[in-house]
Structure 1
Amino acid sequence: MQFSGTPSWQVSWGDGNFVRVALYLRDALALPAAPEIPPLVPSVAVTDVVDRTAVAAEWPGWWADVLDFASGNNIGDPRRSLPVLPHSPALVARPALRAALDALGPQAAQHPRPRRTPGAAPSRRIGEFVTAREAELGRKARPFRLAVTELSVDGLLWHRAAVHHVLVSTRFASDEALCAGALREIIAELA
């Protein structure tokens, strides 16, 4: 929780729209990229509307920009822009990715957002987990920030994209015990 004027902790949990768009491009173009992240569900039809080789060459740096943006790094930096928008600095030197977004962006934007099992809301228990960790430590939690990006991907996924950023599948997030254990573990480390 973030209190004005005091160092504290902050956890954000979102559906990662622009991460989903990036994964849509990966799946639609059958790119050999981000193998640690399973395919989107529902699955995406493969197409050859753009030069896959050129997109694949530009992918690694752009994917890093997408994950960096999703993690909340440099919040408030006026030079930062959503890495999937045409005017984004992340696309200035990546014409193949710009072309791929122009061609596939509308379909990517329509790909279903994560839909969790009714009642499953692990994000509601984060405060409880931090309070329990504080009791174990006998002190307040250190100030920390954690971004959790939930994705509609196949199978169980809990992937540490960065120290303060986790990619999680909706299926993983829907498993109350599994997700609670993973959240407790990362909070124990960060707090």
Structure 2
Amino acid sequence: MRHGNTLSWEIRNSGPDRHLSTLLYVRDAAGLAAPADYPLPPLAPAVPLRAELVAHATAAAAEEWSAWWERAVTIDRWSQQPDVSSVQSMDPPEPGTALRALFDAVVDEAHDWHRKRFEEFRDRRLRRRDHGGTAGRTVERIEQELGRTSAPFRLQVAMLPLDRKWGRRIEADLIVVSEELWYDEDACDLFLDRILRALM
């Protein structure tokens, strides 16, 4: 889904991100206390904790998960593969590691879980008359306030089905947001304002 005139600005959002959802599914299913520079809320609907995986949820696995996340959430991935909702393969954890054992145990169910979330997203989008949503309206509001049209920019949105309103700017042209935030017009407008002003 794209918003905006491609000759001036573009906000790209392909719906729930399969790669990032899979990473978070592994974390939640194992109860992995993964370190991060910022807290990542749980997935929604909640992923059941798998007791048999707890033995693999080690400190080493947590560190491996954090590095795995950082490799996955980079604008380079979207630049190379713009439609990240596709069924392209993802880089699994290193073989023989505790994290790989966790990944292998849940990857199929994680993809099934994501497929259901993507269907829900697609149905929700079809029910909405205004596919441009808050992002486009925020750009238009800022243009009016600045008294000029926006400078050309591209912003990639990685969406996740999380249990609360949450968003973070990862890079200048990459944000990760929860569906709860994206579809709350006031909260999303507030979140996007500073990010878009820096790009416009």
Q: TM-score range by the shorter chain?
A: 0.7 to 0.9
Q: Is the 8 A contact 2:56 2:99 kept in 1?
A: no
Q: Over residues 82-133 of structure 1, what are the superposed CA-to-partner deviations in whole Å (9 max), with x where a residue is unaligned?
A: 9x946x3x64577433332221001111224164665386743433432333
Q: Is the 8 A contact 2:11 2:157 kept in 1?
A: yes
Q: What TM-score results when the alignment is normalised by the length of structure 2? A: 0.72
Helix, strand or coil for the counterpart of 2:163? coil
- Residues 1:123 and 1:15: Cα distance change in structure 2 (over 3 Å): farther
Separation in structure 2 between the aligned mates of residue 132 and residue 12 of structure 1, nearest angstrom = 19
Q: Over residues 116-165 of structure 1, what are the superposed CA-to-partner deviations in whole Å (9 max), with x where a residue is unaligned?
A: 66538674343343233334334442332212222221122122233322
**Shift, 1:9, TM fit:** 2.4
- Residues 1:17 and 1:74: Cα distance change in structure 2 (over 3 Å): closer
The number of residues matched between the two structures is: 179
Helix, strand or coil for the counterpart of 2:73? helix
Aligned position for 1:124? 133
Separation in structure 2 between the aligned mates of residue 51 and residue 38 of structure 1, nearest angstrom = 21
- Residues 1:94 and 1:119: Cα distance change in structure 2 (over 3 Å): farther
Separation in structure 2 between the aligned mates of residue 182 and residue 110 of structure 1, nearest angstrom = 31
Question: Which residue identity is paired with 1:181?
Answer: L
Q: Which runs of 5+ in 1 are unaligned?
A: none
Q: Is the 8 A contact 1:72 1:147 kept in 2?
A: no
Q: Which runs of 5+ in 2 are unaligned?
A: none
Q: Give yes or no for the alignment of 1:176 onto 2:179.
A: no
Separation in structure 2 between the aligned mates of residue 25 and residue 185 of structure 1, nearest angstrom = 32
Q: Is the 8 A contact 1:153 1:169 kept in 2?
A: yes
Q: Give yes or no for the alignment of 1:149 onto 2:158.
A: yes
- Residues 1:190 and 1:102: Cα distance change in structure 2 (over 3 Å): same
Aligned position for 2:10? 10
Q: What TM-score results when the alignment is normalised by the length of structure 1? A: 0.75
Q: Give yes or no for the alignment of 1:52 onto 2:57.
A: yes
**Root-mean-square deviation over aligned CA pairs:** 3.1
Q: Is the 8 A contact 1:122 1:173 kept in 2?
A: no
- Residues 1:28 and 1:126: Cα distance change in structure 2 (over 3 Å): same
Question: Which residue identity is paired with 1:26?
Answer: R
Separation in structure 2 between the aligned mates of residue 37 and residue 120 of structure 1, nearest angstrom = 31
Q: Percent identity between the aligned chains?
A: 30
Aligned position for 2:98? 96
